[in-house]
Amino acid sequence: MATTLETTFAGLKLRNPIIVSSSGLTDNAAKNRKLDEAGAGAIVLKSLFEEQIMMEVDHLDDMSMYPEGSEYLAAYLRQHKLNEYLNLIKESKQACSIPVIASINCYSDDHWIDFARQIEAAGADALEINILALQADAQYTYGSFEQRHIDILRHVKGTVDIPVIMKLGDNLTNPVALIDQLQANGAAAVVLFNRFYQPDIDIDRMVQTTGPVLGNGSELPHVLRWIGIASATVSRTDYAASGGIHQPEDVVKALLAGASAVEVCSAIYRQTAGVIGKYNDFLAQWMESKGMDSIDQFKGRLNLSDPKGVNTFERTQFLKYFATHE
Report the first-to-last Cα separation within the chain, whole angstroms.
49
Sign of CA dihedral 294, 299, 305, 308: negative
Give the pLDDT score at 289. Answer: 97
Q: What is the pTM of this model?
A: 0.89
CA–CA distance, 175 with 135 (Å, rounded to integer): 15
Alpha helices in the chain (DSSP H): 29-37, 50-63, 67-95, 112-121, 144-157, 175-184, 220-233, 248-257, 266-271, 274-289, 310-323
Give the pLDDT score at 231. Answer: 96
Give the pLDDT score at 322. Answer: 60
Give the pLDDT score at 113. Answer: 74
- DSSP lists the bridge partners of residue 127 as 102, 164
Which H/E stretch holds residue 210?
strand 207-210
Q: Under DSSP, is residue 318 helix (H, G, I), strand (E, B) or coil?
A: helix
All domains of the chain in start order, with CATH: 7-323 (3.20.20.70)
Dihedral angle over CA of 130, 136, 140, 144, nearest 10: 10
Give the pLDDT score at 218. Answer: 86
Q: Which residues, given as ranges, of the chain have pLDDT below 70?
A: 1, 50-77, 109-112, 306-326
Give the pLDDT score at 2. Answer: 85
Give the pLDDT score at 285. Answer: 98
Give the pLDDT score at 106. Answer: 81
Sign of CA dihedral 258, 262, 266, 272: positive
Give the pLDDT score at 133. Answer: 72
Give the pLDDT score at 325. Answer: 55
| Max CA distance (Å), the chain | 71
